Structure 1
Amino acid sequence: MSAILGPIHHWLFRKIKIQNDLTNAIIEGAKEKNLNVAPLANIDAGYGSLPEGDLGNIIDPTNIHGWLQDKIAIVERRLAYVVKTLTEGDAEAINFICDISRAFGVKNAIAAGVSPADGFEYYENTFVSGMPCDGVNMVVNEDSDELMWQETVDIHKQYWDEVGANEALFYEIRNAMIEGVFAGSGLAYYALGNGSYKLVRE
């Protein structure tokens, strides 16, 4: 298997697992806070789950690209369903979810003193943005003190629409996790709107 699996496949699967871990952290936090978690008991049956084990032992060697794309869809839909379930009838739940996401980001934080370019690389190594061939994040401006990038396509909307969830909540959650990732790094993160973002050396 190692002969056909490349570093990019392990890189992508690691990001997929990070998003799955975020969703699980939200579920566990919601249980502790006694939020409406009862409907989540059937999440695996409704939206699938990630297989356990080393990638080389669980991936379909005849359809590597399709297998990884399917796992992206699973973690995207799972997060959307969890957020939809917890926020239905409880508009304040998103604040709690963002708190969990920010704390999760802190646990996965980048080291202090990095450059904006390092920060963007870490972002690309951490957050699911479709398949590598989708080319979602494009750097539009870069110098030693600032890096700006643009999302060329909204890769998440299709999954949140499928679940019937409000996609705006996805970006609240992602921004909260990003804030946690860069807390204490010496880089300030800004969501500029219309899919534009930047990291600035503080």
Structure 2
Amino acid sequence: MSAFLAPIHFMVYGKNQLQEQLIAAIADKAVAEGWQTEAAVEGYVHRETQPLENIIDLANIHGWLSASIEDVEHRLAALVTELLFGHPERQEVLERLAYEEGTKQAAGEGLEAGEVFQYMMTHLVDGMPCDGVNMMRDQSADTFRWDKMADVHSRYWTEVEGSPAVYDALRSQFVAGMLEKTGYEVFSSNGVNYILQKKQTA
């Protein structure tokens, strides 16, 4: 059965599973902090342990993966929005948690900027590969510039009356955790044009 699946399909599923881990960590944190009961948050968590080939619809691979992305994006937005409703101070806690979760997927040392970018793109949910969300502008050994060609995340947050800015903050911290050992950081002044570059030292 797995003969029908290509590496890109496993990569997309792997990205989804990492976001599933973030959702589970947020749910667990909410229970530990007394924000919600376990029963109240468990509906947002999907603890799938089966390999992709056992659960995917091989007759509709693209559709199944696309629906899986929509599902994981929606549940993250819904859970975080519920937890922050009336309690904006919790966002700082969730951002720290996102950073910690990012460190669990930390990229290694000694990578060039392009290699770090590729590592990020194999770990972050950004729609389907055919959506062409991220387009490179230029690169060197120490910098990588790209443009975000489409916003594939905001609608999940607005649909649950949440703030896309919260997603941006959580993602930024998750990325910072991933890059902790690399010596790189990501900047964007407008949410469209991005640069990955070596951290500036004083």
Q: If the length of structure 1 is used for normalisation, what is the TM-score? A: 0.92
Alignment match, 2:41: 40
Query: 1:100 — aligned with what?
Result: 97
Structure 2 match to 1:114: 111
User: Residue 79 of structure 1: which of 60, 64, 76 is its match?
Assistant: 76
Among 45, 58, 61, the residue aligned to 1:61: 58
Deviation at residue 41 of structure 1 after TM alignment: 4.1
Residues 33-68 of structure 1 show CA distances to partners (whole Å, capped at 9, x for unaligned) of 112356424436xxxx46431111110011000100
1:170 pairs with 2:167:
yes
Number of residue pairs matched? 198
Q: Does 1:148 align with 2:142?
A: no
Is residue 23 of structure 1 aligned with residue 23 of structure 2? yes
How far the C-alpha of 1:188 sits from its partner, in A, is 2.2
Report the 3-state secondary structure (helix = DSSP H, G, I; strand = E; otherwise coil) of the residue aligned with 1:28: helix
Distance in 2 of aligned mates of 1:194 and 1:7:
29
Contact 2:27 2:42 in 1 (8 A): no
SS at match of 1:84: helix
Q: Give 3-state SS (helix, strand or coil) of 2:17's partner.
A: helix
Stretches of structure 1 that go unaligned for 5 or more consecutive residues are none
State the SS of the aligned residue for 1:193: coil
Misfit runs of 4+, over 6 Å: none
The CA deviation string for residues 173-196 of structure 1, in whole angstroms up to 9 with x for no partner, is 000000111012121222332322
CA distance, structure 2, for counterparts of residue 43 and residue 27 of structure 1: 8
Q: Alignment partner of 1:126: what SS?
A: coil
8 Å Cα contact 1:115-1:201 kept in structure 2: no
Task: Provide the rounded CA distance (Å) in 2 between the counterparts of 1:138 and 1:50.
Answer: 32
Counterpart of 1:88? 85
Cα RMSD for the two superposed structures: 1.5
1:201 matched to 2:193? The reply is: no
Distance 1:128 1:155 in 2: 9
SS in 2 for 1:148: strand
Q: Per-residue CA shift, 1:114-163, capped at 9, x if unaligned?
A: 11101100010000000000000111121122111111000012222222
Q: Distance in 2 between matches of 1:157 and 1:200?
A: 26
Structure 2 portions without partners, runs of 5+: none
CA contact (8 A) 2:23 2:44 kept: no
